[in-house]
């Protein structure tokens, strides 16, 4: 056996854990060769609100909510208590043929909270899966299978948006458009139809976010005119393409997409996995679509995927919400017409109990109201950073705030990828006690909702220093 203490001089508990980790673990979304020299590996002993605490007492502010999952802070005592109580009662049960209270109650609460449009039959059924990608697979398969059950066998394709992201499994990758994750597996993927992103960052001079949204909707209309009859569903991330660099669009686009999906008789799948549960200021991002005529604002999708924040960041769980009409399309004497998709841990009671506790906190603590003040404070603290020479844009949607870094601070000249500006910023921030994991050269704040004034001030200060240090190479 290799003596790891020779490679890593052991001087502290953190070093010891780092060495043990690298001896056995293969980490996600990581070129392992970069550990530990180029990329620090940070062993965490416990979480405390917005802090991650190391074995030696060092702290890191979790400014990315641990991959956008955490809502109320780490080790939130009320969620922890709910999970512990559930673990002593019923930890897991098969969800085919059997049922349990947390699964039913969470479904009831979700259905009561999701967006509704008058005149449209509401989302009425909940199908559980156990992570976001699996939830996306469920929604895609449901849409396809529904048409098939009706004998519409030509509808085999999905429309997705350029720069979108829906997860890492092969079905989810097929409707994603991030080359870094997708390109290698392209030979394995079903061919989706990609429509231009409404991304406001790509607006032409003078066009503005709404103009960009209208132009993207026009291109989508043309795509559907050509291919509408082959399509079963359109999938998008409402309001913010998160993995695509926190690129934001005018919510007008959501209204247009709803209209186009209706006109072509295809399902609209809203992937609210990252933006759901208050991230963009409203409980769900679909609520922000402007009114059509005198009607109220907000659109209702036909299928909606939630995950990440669903359990407050405690346990993996996804839910796909569907209309009654979609559900009814599977009722038949034939089992093959049923939706047989299943995962062993579908609707796990511990995860559902965490979800119920998290929703309770969102309501009881009036979290969305408090977030409005927090988001306003984030905007104030970020404003001076917009003046830094390499910051091309600071953009915000509620509790998501992003800094786009470019070579000259304009939108035309990104940094040479080889400079790895994002990675440099990441290292600079880690060294200063903040977890600020970039997407390419986009830095973003997506903190737990419990983040306080002192933590935000630290975040702003460290972000400034990280940008300055990372861009000094240019
Ligand atoms: C994270 C994410 C997914 C995938 O969820 P996982 O739980 O990581 O599989 C899907 N869609 C969006 C928009 C996401 O941000």
Q: Are residues 215 and 262 in the same domain?
A: yes
Instruction: Give nearest CA residue, ligand 1 atom 3.
Output: 167
In this structure, is residue 79 part of a structural domain?
no
Q: Are residues 114 and 257 in the same domain?
A: yes
Instruction: Give nearest CA residue, ligand 1 atom 5.
Output: 132
**CATH code: domain of residue 274:** 3.40.640.10
In this structure, is residue 100 part of a structural domain?
yes
Block means of pLDDT (10 residues each) for the chain, 474 residues, are 55 93 96 93 97 97 98 98 98 98 98 95 97 98 98 98 98 97 96 98 96 98 97 98 98 98 98 98 98 90 98 98 98 96 97 98 98 98 98 98 96 93 97 97 98 98 98 84
Cα-Cα end-to-end distance for the chain: 43
Which of 66, 166, 279 for a ligand 1 pocket mutation test, highest count of atoms within 8 Å of Cβ? 166
Q: Are residues 130 and 245 in the same domain?
A: yes
Is 252 in contact with 214 (CB distance < 8 Å)? yes
In this structure, is residue 35 part of a structural domain?
no
Residue 170 CA to ligand 1 center (angstroms) comes to 13
Instruction: Give nearest CA residue, ligand 1 atom 15.
Output: 274
Instruction: Give nearest CA residue, ligand 1 atom 10.
Output: 166
Q: Are residues 198 and 61 in the same domain?
A: no
User: What would the pLDDT profile of 310-342 be if each residue is shown by its tens digit?
Assistant: 999 999 999 999 999 999 999 999 999 999 999
Q: Are residues 346 and 208 in the same domain?
A: yes
Answer positive or negative: Cα dihedral of 335, 340, 345, 349: negative
Beta bridge partners of 320: 127, 305
Question: What does the buried/exposed string (b/e) look like for 345-360 if buried means 16 or more CB atoms within 10 Å of the residue's CB?
Answer: bbbbbbbbbbbbbbbe
The last residue of a domain, from among 331, 364, 397: 364
- For residue 384, CA distances in Å to 79, 403, 410, 468 come to 37, 12, 17, 13
Residue 199 CA to ligand 1 center (angstroms) comes to 19
Which atom number of ligand 1 is nearest to the Cα of residue 136? 10
392 vs 447: CA distance, rounded Å: 22
Q: Are residues 350 and 403 in the same domain?
A: no
The last residue of a domain, from among 364, 387, 407: 364
pLDDT at position 262 is 98
Q: Are residues 278 and 382 in the same domain?
A: no
Residue 318 CA to ligand 1 center (angstroms) comes to 10
Instruction: Provide the domain count of the chain.
Output: 3
In this structure, is residue 199 part of a structural domain?
yes
Which atom number of ligand 1 is nearest to the Cα of residue 308? 7
In this structure, is residue 403 part of a structural domain?
yes
User: What would the pLDDT profile of 21-37 be if each residue is shown by its tens digit?
Assistant: 999 999 999 999 999 89
Q: Are residues 163 and 95 in the same domain?
A: yes
In this structure, is residue 59 part of a structural domain?
yes
Residue 287 CA to ligand 1 center (angstroms) comes to 20
388 vs 189: CA distance, rounded Å: 41
pLDDT at position 1 is 47
Residue 459 CA to ligand 1 center (angstroms) comes to 25
The last residue of a domain, from among 311, 336, 364: 364
Residues within 6 Å of ligand 1 by CB: 131-133, 136, 165-167, 237, 242-243, 271, 273-274, 307-308
Nearest Cα to Cα of residue 401 among 371, 434, 368, 445: 445
Q: Are residues 357 and 433 in the same domain?
A: no
Q: Are residues 118 and 52 in the same domain?
A: no
In this structure, is residue 77 part of a structural domain?
no
* Residues near 138 by beta carbon (within 8 Å), at least 6 away in sequence: 127, 129, 305, 318, 320, 341
Beta bridge partners of 394: 403
Which atom number of ligand 1 is nearest to the Cα of residue 272? 13
Which atom number of ligand 1 is nearest to the Cα of residue 172? 10
Is 157 in contact with 140 (CB distance < 8 Å)? no
In this structure, is residue 78 part of a structural domain?
no
Beta bridge partners of 321: 126, 304
Which atom number of ligand 1 is nearest to the Cα of residue 164? 13
pTM over 0.95: yes
Instruction: Give nearest CA residue, ligand 1 atom 8.
Output: 132
pLDDT at position 11 is 81
What range does the domain containing 383 cover?
42-72+367-473
Beta strands at 303-306 and 318-323: parallel, antiparallel or unpaired:
antiparallel
Is 445 in contact with 437 (CB distance < 8 Å)? no
Q: Are residues 324 and 385 in the same domain?
A: no
Which of 273, 319, 351 for a ligand 1 pocket mutation test, highest count of atoms within 8 Å of Cβ? 273
pLDDT at position 7 is 56
Q: Are residues 273 and 396 in the same domain?
A: no
Beta bridge partners of 235: 269
Phi-psi region of 229 (alpha: psi -120 to 50; beta: other; left: phi over 0): alpha
């Amino acid at each position: 056996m290799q003596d790891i203490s020779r490679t890593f001089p052991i001087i502290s508990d953190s070093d010891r854990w780092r060495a043990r980790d690298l001896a056995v673990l293969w980490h996600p979304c990581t070129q392992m060769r970069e550990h530990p020299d180029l990329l620090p590996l940070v062993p965490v002993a416990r979480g405390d609100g917005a802090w991650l605490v190391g074995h030696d007492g060092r702290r890191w502010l979790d400014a990315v909510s641990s991959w956008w999952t955490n809502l109320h802070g780490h080790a939130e005592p009320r969620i922890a208590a709910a999970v512990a109580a559930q673990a002593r009662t019923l930890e897991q049960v098969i969800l085919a043929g059997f049922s349990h209270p947390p699964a039913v109650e969470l479904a009831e609460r979700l259905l009561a909270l999701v967006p509704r449009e008058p005149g449209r039959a509401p989302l009425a059924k909940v199908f559980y899966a156990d992570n976001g990608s699996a939830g996306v697979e469920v929604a895609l398969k449901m849409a396809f299978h529904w048409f098939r059950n009706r004998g519409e066998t030509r509808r085999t394709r999905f429309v997705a948006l350029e720069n979108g992201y829906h997860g890492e499994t092969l079905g989810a990758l097929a409707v994603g458009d991030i080359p870094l994750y997708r390109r290698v597996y392209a030979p394995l993927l079903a061919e989706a139809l990609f429509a231009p992103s409404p991304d406001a960052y790509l607006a032409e001079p003078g066009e503005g976010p709404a103009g960009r949204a209208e132009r993207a909707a026009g291109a989508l209309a043309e795509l559907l005119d050509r291919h509408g009859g082959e399509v079963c569903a359109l999938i998008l991330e409402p309001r913010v393409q998160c993995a695509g660099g926190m690129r934001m669009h005018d919510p007008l686009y959501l209204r247009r997409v709803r209209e186009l999906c209706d006109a072509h008789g295809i399902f609209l799948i809203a992937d609210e996995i990252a933006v759901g549960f208050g991230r963009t200021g409203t409980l769900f991002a679909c609520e922000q679509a402007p009114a059509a005529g005198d009607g109220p604002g907000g659109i209702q999708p036909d299928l909606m995927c939630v995950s990440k924040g669903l359990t407050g960041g405690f346990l993996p769980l996804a839910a796909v919400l569907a209309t009654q009409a979609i559900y009814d399309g599977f009722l038949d004497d034939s089992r093959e017409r049923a939706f047989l998709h299943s995962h062993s841990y579908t609707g796990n009671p511990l995860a559902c109990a965490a979800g119920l506790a998290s929703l309770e906190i969102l309501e009881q603590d009036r979290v969305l109201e408090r977030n409005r003040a927090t988001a306003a404070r984030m905007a104030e603290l970020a404003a001076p950073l917009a003046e830094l020479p390499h910051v091309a844009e600071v953009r915000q949607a509620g509790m998501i705030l992003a800094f786009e870094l470019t070579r000259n601070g304009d939108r035309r000249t990104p940094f040479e990828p080889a400079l790895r500006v994002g990675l440099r910023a990441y290292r600079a921030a880690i060294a200063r006690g903040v977890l600020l994991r970039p997407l390419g050269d986009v830095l973003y704040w997506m903190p737990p909702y419990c983040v306080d004034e002192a933590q935000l001030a630290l975040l702003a200060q460290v972000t400034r220093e990280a940008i300055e240090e990372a861009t000094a190479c240019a």
